[in-house]
Chains A and B, each alone.
Chain A
Amino acid sequence: MGLLSKKDSKLIMDPLADNNPITIQVLGICSALAITAQLKPSIVMAISVMFVMGVGNVVISLMRNIIPSKIRIIVQLVVVATLVIIVDQVLKAFAYSLSKELSVFIGLIITNCIIMGRFEAFALGNGVWRSFLDGIGNALGYGVILIIVGFFRELLGSGTLFGFKVLGDPVEKTGLYAIGYENNGFMVLPPMALIVVGIIIWVQRSRNKDLIED
């Protein structure tokens, strides 16, 4: 990373693992779980959040000296809401079926705690470039978990990835299905999202003992 100093690259890399917004900071779970039954919406969601966080952090960081601290939450909400409206309108224009599928969860990016959390914790006290990196880093950390969960739920639940039948055809019994493999329909249902995230936390914390809670 020649472009970034060591301190700056830490801003991006930290949220990917040891300070992950979902598994460690417990922020932004709400939307993370509901849309991960398939890989495609997960990726769209990750990109939308990245846009909102990157731009939002920059805007808040630019305005940090003129926002009165008493009304900062409302100011932050207005900034996020505006950005989310942009995302929503773009999705409606270019990917209508996907925007129908994500339904209210695009709107719920507004109340995604990661965004407000990073505004409060970082953008209000740091410069523009560092805030931008922090926003992108946290959105990446969020996106990684979304994509892992989406990957496993789609693969095990419907045997597809991005809608392609990677494990063979369950009706015509080709590929893995020929030797008796069956899809686990349970993975597609909402509760499994929680359990998959629980398992990711388990794996992560057994690899890094420092993260274990008492």
Chain B
Amino acid sequence: MEHIELFFKSVFVDNMVFAYFLGMCSYLAVSKKVSTAVGLGAAVIFVLAITVPLNWLLDQYLLQEGALTWLGEEYADYDLSFLSFIMFIATIATMVQLVEIIVEKFSPALYNSLGIFLPLIAVNCAILGGSLFMQSREIETLGLALNYGIASGIGWFLAIVAIAAIREKIRYSNVPAPLRGLGITFIITGLMAIGFMSFGGMLTGGEDEATEESREDTVGMVIETPALEKNTETDLSIENTQDSNK
């Protein structure tokens, strides 16, 4: 149950892109074609699934306060958590290099289409963000860390594939010239994020959201409602485009 809850929470409620804007750089740069987006999304899932558990182990047995107890009593007081940034990023950079070598060996086509973006995974905020959130949320077991890594990867994958599908279709629409390209992508992402906010009540039975909404003033809610409706339409069209692309 714990696993299922964490999984759905990471995919939908705490979606990397829509709730925390992590990995936006590659999200915007590589989302022009669905096929490339799928490749990059898959690479992100893979790298997250490896690095989050690895960094969990590092955090548990090296960095946390008292983590060095297994070395002996005299090490119990050390707190190396200030080193976590550098340790995490080193693990990630190494793993990305490894993935790059593996992909180049087994799928040259994918390697060519991802081009320069594979090394960029090392500086993809979603990867480091995954590890940092894992640390700050104090995820308890290795299994949960693995689950968290995969689920946030899937969330990121969904986001990039959806935006790529929309951008493929939007080429046929008459967007105002200054908004073309980057501008409209930002605004669509904003609308998609509003859509994903509606997942907020999924796991709490709506209790959380109810209290959150009561804190907001009425004007905010009036504006929110039409935006939400508009977005459900966009969501449907995403699914349609994805189906047609399969």
Contact = CB atoms under 8 A, between A and B. Distances in A.
B179 A191 contact: no
B216 interface: yes
Contact of A104 (B18, B89, B133, B177): B133
B21 A33 contact: yes
Given A111-B123, A111-B125, A206-B178, A30 B223 contact: no
B124 interface: yes
B216 A194 contact: no
Interface in A174-204: 182-186, 189-195, 197-199, 201-204
B164 interface: no
A29, A30, A85, A197 interface centre (most CB from chain B within 10 Å): A30
A43 interface: no
B93 A182 contact: no
B164 to A, nearest CB: 15
19 contacts: A26-B29, A29-B24, A30-B129, A74-B94, A78-B86, A81-B85, A81-B90, A110-B85, A111-B128, A186-B223, A190-B18, A190-B21, A191-B197, A194-B190, A198-B183, A201-B186, A203-B178, A205-B177, A205-B183
A97 interface: no
B193 interface: yes
Contacts of A82: 86
Given A182-B217, A198-B179, A108 B125 contact: yes
A77 interface: yes
B33 to A, nearest CB: 16
Contacts of A29: 21, 24-25, 28
B193 A194 contact: yes
A144 interface: no
Interface of B: 18-25, 28-29, 82-86, 89-90, 93-94, 119-120, 122-125, 127-129, 132-133, 136, 176-187, 189-191, 193-194, 197, 215-221, 223-224
A57 interface: no
Interface string A22-52: 0100111111111000000000000000000
B21 A189 contact: no
A71 to B, nearest CB: 9
A190 B193 contact: yes
Most chain-A Cβ atoms within 10 A of its Cβ — which of B85, B128, B181, B197?
B85
Contacts of B193: 190-191, 194
Contacts of B127: 111
A184 B61 CA distance: 46
B192 to A, nearest CB: 8
Contacts of A192: 190
A189 to B, nearest CB: 7
Given A77-B122, A107-B128, A194 B189 contact: yes
A171 to B, nearest CB: 11
A88 B181 CA distance: 35
B216 to A, nearest CB: 4
Given A29-B24, A110-B128, A194-B187, A77 B178 contact: no
Interface in A105-143: 107-108, 110-113, 116
A108 B136 CA distance: 13
A212 B181 CA distance: 8
Contacts of A209: 178
Contacts of A195: 186-187, 190-191
A31 B83 CA distance: 21
A18 B189 CA distance: 24
Nearest to B192: A191
